[in-house]
Amino acid sequence: MGGRPRSGPPAGRTQGAGGHETHGTRTIGVAIPIPHPYGRELQRVRESFGDRLAPGIPTHITLLPPTQVDAAELGAVEEHLAGVARTERPFRIRLRGTGTFRPVSPVVFVALAEGKDGCARLHTKVLAGPPGQRPQFPYHPHVTVAHHLSDEQMDRAAKELADYEAAFQVWGFSLYEHGADGVWRPRRHFLFGSGAAD
């Protein structure tokens, strides 16, 4: 999440402005949230590099990048995601070291040393239902820590987190909605093996 919208951790549901759920468009994303304390820790580090978007982007591993949908489609999207979650079981992710998509994309990230297959499987299942999307690039699960910064700051991010390591169990994934204030907020969470947690 956090990039330009493409067409096409538990806090329950949120509603759009005025509480309207069935009018207009929404910008959504689906991601695995990075749990406490690692998520907030990496968000603070990202802020320290001068990434002005960082305060509004919870630390995550993207499954569906920012996508615009009609509000009326959200029910079908949530139903599909609940079905995906029911077919899954928890798996382990281990983060270690850094990587970059430069020069193709101005991103530095913390890499996955374990859990890539689980993320790729989820990504494929999520994209198989509404809203439906054709990936722009081959899927590469990662945790963004610097985006659209100067080369100096990007190099600093890659160097300072080169020895970073963390491991955790993935309990499920979340549907996020992009607010008018630029903040990504969880709309609904989906637990593996038991559908959705409202």
pLDDT band at 7 (very low <50, low <70, confident <90, very high): very low
Q: Has residue 178 got a pLDDT over 50?
A: yes
List the structure tokens of 178.
């992009």
Q: pTM, whole model, 2 decimals?
A: 0.86
State pLDDT tens for residues 85-131. Answer: 999 999 999 999 999 999 999 999 999 999 999 999 999 999 999 98
DSSP character at residue 6: B
Domains and CATH numbers, the chain: 17-197 (3.90.1140.10)
List the structure tokens of 162.
């080169």
pLDDT band at 33 (very low <50, low <70, confident <90, very high): very high
Q: Has residue 16 got a pLDDT over 50?
A: no
